[in-house]
Structure 1
Amino acid sequence: MRLRGNLDRYCVLAVLIAAGAAFPAGAQQPGSAEYNRVFVPAHGTGDTRRPSPGDRWGAYAVSEVNKYTGFVTGLTTEPDAVAAATAMCVERGGVVCAKEATFLNSCAAVATSESRSRWAIEDSLRAATSAAKEECGRECRIRWSGCSDDSSR
């Protein structure tokens, strides 16, 4: 019986060694390329969404100095949308224009009055304009609205 017990241990040891050869050292360690190919992070722990070729960005830029704005839609990357909105703000006379908001495959609207301005991003143009007006107040009117994919959804 003692020989049989040792034989079982050796068989288990051989299986473990063979399994180790199938998974090289570090192959399944978190952070390694091999690990990331097998274990995809869950939503909320990392960006697992890759942009599709049809993704379109929009951006809204504002000058806090003199309140000029720039608003663009339909660009393929977020940095391009931010750069274009900022450039439009400057071209219109804005001083120290900066990104206020970006949006991907959605719609946005800006509502303003003499004393205030509010913006909203929603899935549809109707929802965005409604939300912007509601946030801004009764005296506000829509100054700009559009969808990043150039639809009016």
Structure 2
Amino acid sequence: MDLRKLKTLIDLVSESNISELEITEAEGKVRIVKGGVAVAAAMVAAPAAAPTAAPAAPAPVAAAPAAEPVVAEPAGKVIKSPMVGTFYRSASPGAKAFVDVGSTVKPGEPICIIEAMKIMNEIEADVGGKIVQILCENGQAVEFGQPMFIVE
């Protein structure tokens, strides 16, 4: 399936009342699920003829594991990323940041934007309080569940 067709399907799902679309074609299967804020898409390629696999090399024996550093759990409530994407502190380059350290937020108030698949998703605070730490840099890639803000 070509990217233009995939983008058209994503746009149709995001603009319609349907919450999920699954299409199976000769070259693969596409499932698009519309969530509360984001549109997720997954493409699974059709199985091809399996090439003969070379025997795997034996895994190297690791030395004794080093002691892992103890990371203190941050005090306060953590606001985590609800999706994978690019973190932005403001609505546009040069604009004022949604929140800064010391800002007071209420639940439902916008705190950042995460760009995913060329869609700008406004992320709202799920807890209220004072922002004590911002854990992500502007333009940084974030993962699902990654801590972004600490709120007291």
Same fold (TM over 0.5): no
Q: With structure 2 as the length reference, what TM-score do the two structures score?
A: 0.22
| Larger proportion of strand | 2
Q: With structure 1 as the length reference, what TM-score do the two structures score?
A: 0.22
For CA contacts below 8 A with separation 6 or more, give which structure has more relative contact order. 2
| Larger proportion of helix | 1
Bigger-Rg structure (1/2)? 1
